[in-house]
Amino acid sequence: MAQEQTDTRQPVAVVTGGTGSIGAAICSRFQSQNMRVVAADLHVCPVPAGQAFFECNVTRSESLRDLLTYAAGLGPIHVIVAAHGILRETPAGSSDPEAVSATIDVNLKGLAYLFDLARSFMKAPGSIVALSSWTAVGGRIRNAYAYQATKAGLEMLVRNFAVAYGPDGIRVNCIAPGFMADPMKGEGAELRKRQGGMQGVIDGAPLRRLILPQDIANAAAFLCSEEASAITGIVLPDAGYRAL
């Protein structure tokens, strides 16, 4: 019987939402660990030298398949980080159905499609990391119920796929950031302004600080490292928000 040849090419990390503030920090961190990084996003955007960009619509399974096919052509995929997401304003009782649908399509369906495809393209040992939010467990947050619901659903997807993919040597984990120093673009930034502003968020944080993109990149790097080889199916919180 012929022995399977070892793939000696540079290992690949795929990051969806890879040109946002968090995604870009994650890309840089894995690039510093000698990985070939593929930053995927909806619109064409320049990326640092040494990284590859792939235009991808996460709401279309075929677009995600094209992304993973491209990445696998560069080398063995050992890391996938789902850093994509949108926040649309959805006040309870008066939401725009289009805003609800768009939020679910990107944040939840897009993640489900990506997770479902991952096993066919990844090489063991593999690690998948998704980005949730502490608001997944905070019902008192105003005007963003669709976003919160998608993040709660995301955490259940992490648990399901951790169990399903564990026997294949693929770990699946989640990071649930608190409020970021750099809020989500568009409606996310506007919501923060209307609901107390930056100082109000800092005053309510147990550590009295906001989360930096590099904090999330550090956590993602740990979860994908050998030091975390026995960790799967967890939601890693930060800054103490879930302790409130």
Are the beta carbons of 236 and 218 closer than 8 angstroms?
Answer: no
- Here the tokens at position 240 are 């103490």
Beta strands 170-176 and 52-55, pairing class: unpaired
Task: State the CATH number of the domain containing residue 119.
Answer: 3.40.50.720
According to the model, what pLDDT value does residue 82 have? 98
For 40-68, letters b (16+ CB in 10 Å) and e give bbbeeeebeeebbbbebbbbebebbbbbb
128 domain residue, yes or no: yes
DSSP 30: H
199 domain residue, yes or no: no
Alpha helix segments (H runs only) across 33-84: 61-74
Total structural domains within the chain: 1
The whole-number mean pLDDT for each consecutive block of 10 residues of the chain, a chain of 244 residues, reads 70 97 97 98 95 98 98 98 95 94 98 98 98 87 90 98 98 91 63 63 78 94 98 86 73
160 domain residue, yes or no: yes
34 domain residue, yes or no: yes
154 domain residue, yes or no: yes
201 domain residue, yes or no: no
According to the model, what pLDDT value does residue 188 have? 56
Element counts in the chain: helices (H) and strands (E):
8, 7
How many Cα atoms sit within 13 Å of 32 on the Cβ side?
Answer: 10
Residue 209's CB is within 10 A of a number of other CB atoms, namely 14
221 domain residue, yes or no: yes
Three-class DSSP category at 59: coil
Range of the domain at 162: 12-181+213-236
Contacts of 185 (CB under 8 A, 6+ apart): 20
206 domain residue, yes or no: no
Contacts of 70 (CB under 8 A, 6+ apart): 38, 54
According to the model, what pLDDT value does residue 190 have? 63
According to the model, what pLDDT value does residue 186 have? 58
Are the beta carbons of 187 and 87 closer than 8 angstroms?
Answer: yes
